[in-house]
Amino acid sequence: MSSLKTKITFSFALLIFMLIVAGLMSLSEFKKVSSSADQTIKNHYASIEQSKSILESLEHENTGLLMFLAGNMEEGMKIISESDSTIQKIIAETTASAIEKEGKDYLLTIDEEYQKFHSSVLTACRKANSIPLDERNKLYLTEIHPLFSSAKSAVDVFVKHNQENIICQASFVSQRSKRAIMPALVSIIAAILFSIILNFFINEYFVSPIKKITEAVSSFYPEQYNLNIKINSKDEIKELEKEINKMILRLQRSRSQNE
């Protein structure tokens, strides 16, 4: 025999269990999406910032070369050396922290293009003392500036790559977030359906039987030998019906004997 207390407790326990499972599924999905996306976006943002630093150092090195060719050789060489050290350091750090192979390939291209530019800068510095100013300008425009532009273009391509990946990642997060919401929606719908079912069972096996007994007792007349009701459940209310009918039967027998 299943008691009313057991039925109601089990029903609510099942509802709570369903909500907990759905909630844990949602939390797990959100956590996976958030953690993965956050780290990826951070890496791309870091790469963009490092790329900007490379571009800035490239500009400084180019400025240092122009100063050197213009005659301010000591200050120009100092700027060239500092810029080179900065660029080499940033490329090494960015390559070490890069996760995807495509990103490392872009960095390799940047390094190759920069080395071409830097080599031409050092070559121009060595030639500067032996050629007149107009020849220095011609050397810069025909040989060095194109390499400078190529190095900048390689960095720009890497920046664009990271920007596109951030957009793709944002779209990915949006899609995954919608998927992560589904368990929560399922739990809400399930809770609503289960509440309806639970309400039916409470009415069917608790409220309705008690109402039947109450009405039967109210309309009971002395000649009856039972309440003339039928409780379909097999629980305490059914037992109550049986005991009431037994009590009525005993009372009727006692009355018959007295008569």
210-259 residue pLDDT tens: 787 777 777 766 666 566 677 776 777 777 777 777 877 777 777 666 66
Whether residue 2 has pLDDT greater than 60: no
H helix or E strand, kind and range, residue 199: helix 145-202
* Structure tokens that stand for 119 in this block: 């080599």
78-98 residue pLDDT tens: 999 999 999 999 999 988 887
151 confidence band (pLDDT: 50, 70, 90): very high
pLDDT score at 214: 78
194 confidence band (pLDDT: 50, 70, 90): confident
125-129 — which CB contacts under 8 Å span 24+ positions? 125/65, 125/68, 125/73, 125/76, 125/77, 125/80, 128/68, 128/69, 128/73
Question: So where are the chain's domains?
Answer: 4-190, 192-258
Class of domain 4-190: mainly alpha
* pTM score: 0.61
Q: How far apart are CA 137 and CA 144, in angstroms?
A: 10
pLDDT score at 196: 77
